[in-house]
Amino acid sequence: MPTNHEHIGKALDELTIGLRPYAEQKLKATFKDKWQETVLASFRDGRSRLTEDGQGIDWDAHSLLTVMWDQWNSCFREHLGHQERSLVSELRAFRNRWAHQQSFDFDDSYRVLDSVRRLLEAIQATNLEAVNLQKEELLESYVAEQVNSQVQRTAFNRGKWWVIGIYSLCCAAISYHAAMSGHNGSSALISFVILVFVYLIYQQFKMEPPLLYGPRECHRCKRIIYRRQCPYCEPQHAAPPMPAAT
């Protein structure tokens, strides 16, 4: 199951794919032959933004969003509105957090995907469906995790109350038997038994459900798994390449 950081990375990749042709079209229409120089002026390391042959821009989400922000009034204001400008600003902030390996929760990930979808929808990008599918995948995995967690918690709490009930019955039975026996020291024994079972019952109240889930079907590969992460869906390390024959 992809992490929230990986979901955002994929969303930024889709943003790059969708924005690149649109941004280049608008920049070329406005600045003509000077469009690359205008783009490079937005970066201190401008020359490193060129492709290997020096004939194009090596775009990524960061460079696209930066240029759109810098050249908004010149190139993009006529076609896009205040809402899209806010999306550009928001996605720049999320991209910077992502680049600095900061943590993201589900709300952050879903917000990024939705903002990417809205911006790509505004420019009628061709890869909009891929972003919608990623949103659905993220939401399905989150709901499945919440449902599994709730089922596990309910089953755990039910079992915990059974244990507490059995402890209570055993405490009452032992105390009753000791009281009816009439032996010397029965009061001390009863007090000791009560203290022991009170402690055991207290520990049951404090106990939290385990982090691991019970057996269930992975919503991605449909195999039966027993822990939080599906071992079949986790990325496998690629085997080292074989040495070339001499």
Question: Could you tell me if 60 and 106 lie in one domain?
Answer: yes
pLDDT value at residue 1: 62
In a domain, 239, yes or no: no
Question: Could you tell me if 8 and 122 lie in one domain?
Answer: yes
Name 216's bridge partners: 225
In a domain, 234, yes or no: no
Cβ contacts of 133 within 8 Å, gap of 6 or more: none
Question: Could you tell me if 154 and 212 lie in one domain?
Answer: yes
pLDDT value at residue 77: 92
Give me the average pLDDT of each 10-residue run along the chain (246 residues): 86 95 94 90 75 81 94 93 95 94 91 95 93 89 74 74 86 83 76 85 74 54 60 50 42
Closest of 198, 178, 197, 201 to residue 188, by C-alpha: 178
Question: Could you tell me if 151 and 122 lie in one domain?
Answer: no
pLDDT value at residue 173: 87
pLDDT value at residue 158: 78
Question: Could you tell me if 109 and 178 lie in one domain?
Answer: no
Could you give the number of structural domains in the chain? 2
pLDDT value at residue 242: 43
pLDDT value at residue 246: 35
pLDDT value at residue 240: 43
In a domain, 219, yes or no: yes
Residues 202/205/208/213 CA torsion (nearest 10 deg): 120
The domain of 59 spans 4-126
Question: Could you tell me if 190 and 111 lie in one domain?
Answer: no
In a domain, 49, yes or no: yes
